[in-house]
Structure 1
Amino acid sequence: MTQLSFTYTNSPYKAQQLIEFNDPGLFTVELYDVGLLVLGLIVLIAVILPRLVSDRLMVTAPLVYMATGALLFLLPWAPTLPDLVDDAWWPKRLTELGVIIALTSAGLKINRPFARTTWTVSWRLLAVTMPLSIAFAAWLGWWLAGLMPAAALLLGAVISPTDPVLASDVQTTAPGQPDDSSTRLALTTEAGLNDGLAFPFTNLAIAVALVGLAPSEWLLGWLIIDVFYKIIVGVLVGAVSGWLMAQLFFRFPATRGLPKTMTGIAVLSLTLVPYGFAELLSSYGFIAVFVGACVFRDVECSHEYHAALHELSEEFERVFVAVLMYLLGAYAASGLLGHMTLPMWGLVVCIVFLVRPISGLIGLVGSDLPRRKRLAISFFGIRGIGSFYYLAYGVYHAHFPEAMSVWAIVIAVVTISVFVHGITARSVMNWVATERN
């Protein structure tokens, strides 16, 4: 009797299998094929979901992606997920692509001039709120969850980037649409820059893991290279790349009629060129991508082509968010959260509901923002793709004995953040809009 098989193996050619083993191999499946099918289904969900989710519902697309990942992983044929510590290269590269596409999209959304007044609130969030969040989270990780200093510092660094992409209701509007919300502008610009400014603190955690806590071993090199050189060069590369590409797109005579069929190529070039040059100069590509997109938008801020570029960049972004949120749900359902202890859950709650709100309010002390706007900005410390990238980056470059525990904490933080901030975003923003200045 012919025995049919359903395995995740590298199956031989079907005719050869029939001749040698009397098995047609009709139901022999390779893991690669299953992966392609799952990826296709995720992308399909990302395409049709915005049409199905009503504006009146509090359910957001990332929540649906996470639930889908958890449900699919619980099926009996779900494959074994790669280890996030031993195989840190693949989450590092996958999240890296997701972040730079999101940064391009965020930069193209900045509807204000690329001037000092645009960043008034953002500088407070970057210079005060972000370092405070890192310090508070690291201290709580050491004191409450019992993490070693290097792991605690890594935790503080990786949860510092905010990610409004996962709650679209707090982003600025698309190019060409009016938006006078200082709250949306502050959250979008903060997220665009702190996705790059988390690098020095992640590198600091790596240095502590490699050489110890003694500042004499790392302080001078960290300040010169990781803080000053890489940030300054990243900003310069982004500004120059964005300006030059804008000249080619909008000022060069042959580009008067910008073809919409080339929009995809334009988005990729606007993302990859600044990133590639910045990385070749050993600076921060994330900063270069966001600054490049902002400068590019600022050169011809009213040009209709920005809307087409932004629309396609959002489509790329939506696909990456769908894939990454699916994987988040899958890992959460795989038993990774079994590493969590009661103190670690307490740490997660503190990070989401205390660390960011308190740090945000401190950073906004003395600003001329109305009370509701200060509260909303402080509350929406949304964690997401950037946190996954920096954690994978840190684990890839140094050995952290408690890496799996940090992964569990970060996955729990992002899961709760996506849920809480996602379902409250629309109502909170409506509440802010009703306040009289």
Structure 2
Amino acid sequence: MANYQWFLLLGCLMLARGLWGTPIARLPFTSAIIYLAIGLVLGPLGLHFFAFDIFAAAPLLEVLTEVAVLISLFSAGIKMPVPVTLRRWGAPIRLAWLAMALSVGLIALFCCAVLDMPLGAGVLLGALLAPTDPVLASDVQLRHAGDSDPLRFTLGCEAGMNDGSAFPFVMLGLGLLGLHDLGPWGWHWIAVELVWGTLGAVAIGGLCGMALARVNFALRRSRPGHEVLDDLMGLGLIAVVYGLGLAAHVWGFLAVFCAGVALRQTEQTLARRATSRAAQERPLTPDDRADTTPPTVSDGSLLFKEHLERLSELTLVLLLGGAVTTLLFDWRSWAVALFLFLVARPASVLLALVGSPTTPRMRVIAAWFGVRGIGSLYYLMYAINHGLPEALAHDLINLTLATIVLSIVIHGTSVTPLLDRFWRK
């Protein structure tokens, strides 16, 4: 397709999504299915107006998916409920770490036993497919900053954290394939990539988020008429935190999510303190309460980030449809996808949540709604750009794309009916 045709296609899709936002939101399936269907119709399986070679476009696609995931992670972080408590965060932490490790192990075992793949390739594929996606999972995540639904919180928080917890397993898979140094007996992987990569990301993200919240609060309190651009501050925080994370060799995705959480938590804490101090001096009217709590970066930038999320979802899922070829109909691709959705994900979630304060219904629904999408595509591009052999790369592309396509279809068509039927507030 020519450049003008791409502009026309994307423009028409964005106009249609904007004009018919409410009817589309009421459909019994997600908008990602519409974008995927258009990509399939226009791609090699349909009219063949365009074809997208993922292996050839891996460098560009890595950057696009990286930006999409970063924006989505930050948006998820600033929607997390306040305050942070161990009881509330216990379930998503189990899902993001314990269920993640169990899923990677089960997928690697399946690949080695059934598909006759080497252990490194099995571990790498497990790391690509185990994390849930923060971009395509908006229908099962928190809808706004004040949403306190426990199921949405658990799934959203899991998607925010496991994009960082998956990276050590990506590096482990690359190391077992001889493409990354794991150190003697794997000690470098354990100490640097597993421990430091995780704890350092939490520290960098948390400190940067708290610092921006305090600077913004102090500036707006001291200069009420001073104009602050919340959108740019949010984007700037994402870039600074991610850059610091890469420089410190920690997992930048996890750092950005933690920055969003810390920003929101600190802003709410400062607002409560200001209101409490003002209330001690005199009784407050609603207008007085608004005056004592300056606007927050998290509230001001959330809408803009959600618009960017929609744009990235539309573009990347459309390209995904154009990358689907007849090679994806190989039985191995669908066997991996079905094993993940019907065995690995349910088993790992149910085992990880044993003893947690979650209801049986919540565990069953969480075990099913593990949406795979743009995050898995990013890890795949990362592995390809770090020297993955071409034959193995094409094999993993087919396995990953089949899983993402099937996830978009089955999760996208089941999310609304199942939540309406089994998860009514």
Partner of 1:5: none
Which has the higher mean CA deviation after the structures are superposed, 347-356 or 145-154? 145-154
Judged with a 3 Å threshold, the aligned counterparts in structure 2 of structure 1 residues 48 and 277 are, in CA distance, closer, same or farther, namely farther
For the pair 1:44 / 2:36, whether they are aligned, the reply is no
Equivalent of residue 167 in structure 2, options 199, 206, 210 = 199
Equivalent of residue 190 in structure 1, options 153, 158, 171 = 158
Partner of 1:281: 248
Partner of 1:314: 306
Partner of 2:415: 425
Deviation at 1:259, TM superposition (A): 4.7
Partners of 2:11 and 2:182 in 1: CA distance: 49
Letter in 2 for 1:289: V
- Three-state SS of the structure 2 residue aligned to 1:210 is coil
Partners of 1:100 and 1:180 in 2: CA distance: 23
Deviation at 1:434, TM superposition (A): 4.7
Contact 1:380 1:421 in 2 (8 A): yes
Deviation at 1:344, TM superposition (A): 3.2
Partners of 1:317 and 1:255 in 2: CA distance: 32
**Which stretches in structure 1 are left out of the alignment for 5+ residues?**
1-7, 9-30
Judged with a 3 Å threshold, the aligned counterparts in structure 2 of structure 1 residues 145 and 116 are, in CA distance, closer, same or farther, namely same
Equivalent of residue 361 in structure 2, options 350, 362, 372 = 372
Partners of 1:44 and 1:272 in 2: CA distance: 29
- Three-state SS of the structure 2 residue aligned to 1:53 is helix
Partner of 1:243: 210
Contact 1:159 1:410 in 2 (8 A): yes
Judged with a 3 Å threshold, the aligned counterparts in structure 2 of structure 1 residues 320 and 258 are, in CA distance, closer, same or farther, namely farther
For the pair 1:122 / 2:114, whether they are aligned, the reply is no
Partners of 1:320 and 1:215 in 2: CA distance: 34
Deviation at 1:84, TM superposition (A): 2.3
For the pair 1:140 / 2:110, whether they are aligned, the reply is yes
Partners of 1:125 and 1:76 in 2: CA distance: 41
Judged with a 3 Å threshold, the aligned counterparts in structure 2 of structure 1 residues 99 and 147 are, in CA distance, closer, same or farther, namely same
Partners of 1:404 and 1:397 in 2: CA distance: 14
Partner of 1:180: 148
Taking structure 2 as the reference length, the TM-score comes to 0.86
Letter in 2 for 1:285: G
- Map 1:1-16; keep pairs closer than 5 Å: none
**Which stretches in structure 2 are left out of the alignment for 5+ residues?**
272-292
- Deviation readout 1:135-170 (Å, 9 max, x if unpaired): 111111222223232222111001111125424331
Letter in 2 for 1:160: A
For the pair 1:159 / 2:129, whether they are aligned, the reply is yes
Contact 1:200 1:226 in 2 (8 A): yes
Which has the higher mean CA deviation after the structures are superposed, 410-419 or 386-395? 410-419
Partners of 1:36 and 1:369 in 2: CA distance: 47
Partners of 1:39 and 1:282 in 2: CA distance: 36
Partner of 1:14: none
Judged with a 3 Å threshold, the aligned counterparts in structure 2 of structure 1 residues 164 and 93 are, in CA distance, closer, same or farther, namely closer
Judged with a 3 Å threshold, the aligned counterparts in structure 2 of structure 1 residues 420 and 69 are, in CA distance, closer, same or farther, namely same
Deviation at 1:198, TM superposition (A): 0.7
Letter in 1 for 2:406: I
Partners of 1:259 and 1:136 in 2: CA distance: 52
Judged with a 3 Å threshold, the aligned counterparts in structure 2 of structure 1 residues 54 and 122 are, in CA distance, closer, same or farther, namely closer
Letter in 2 for 1:40: G
Equivalent of residue 338 in structure 2, options 349, 368, 374 = 349
Deviation at 1:278, TM superposition (A): 1.1
Deviation at 1:320, TM superposition (A): 0.6
Partners of 1:151 and 1:258 in 2: CA distance: 54
Partners of 1:174 and 1:269 in 2: CA distance: 22
Deviation at 1:255, TM superposition (A): 5.8
Deviation at 1:258, TM superposition (A): 7.2
Partners of 2:332 and 2:33 in 1: CA distance: 26
- Identity rate, percent: 29
Contact 1:46 1:322 in 2 (8 A): no
For the pair 1:391 / 2:400, whether they are aligned, the reply is no
Partner of 2:397: 407
Contact 2:127 2:166 in 1 (8 A): yes
- Three-state SS of the structure 2 residue aligned to 1:166 is coil
Deviation at 1:46, TM superposition (A): 4.3
Letter in 1 for 2:189: W
Contact 2:38 2:318 in 1 (8 A): yes
Partners of 1:49 and 1:233 in 2: CA distance: 44
Deviation at 1:36, TM superposition (A): 3.7
Partners of 2:222 and 2:116 in 1: CA distance: 62
Deviation at 1:257, TM superposition (A): 5.3
Flag the structure with larger Rg: 1
For the pair 1:59 / 2:48, whether they are aligned, the reply is no
Partners of 1:121 and 1:114 in 2: CA distance: 13
Partners of 1:434 and 1:325 in 2: CA distance: 30
- Three-state SS of the structure 2 residue aligned to 1:366 is coil
- Three-state SS of the structure 2 residue aligned to 1:243 is helix
Deviation at 1:410, TM superposition (A): 1.1
Which has the higher mean CA deviation after the structures are superposed, 298-307 or 279-288? 298-307
Partners of 1:385 and 1:416 in 2: CA distance: 13
Partners of 2:11 and 2:424 in 1: CA distance: 42
Judged with a 3 Å threshold, the aligned counterparts in structure 2 of structure 1 residues 317 and 218 are, in CA distance, closer, same or farther, namely farther
Letter in 1 for 2:108: A
Judged with a 3 Å threshold, the aligned counterparts in structure 2 of structure 1 residues 207 and 259 are, in CA distance, closer, same or farther, namely same
Taking structure 1 as the reference length, the TM-score comes to 0.84
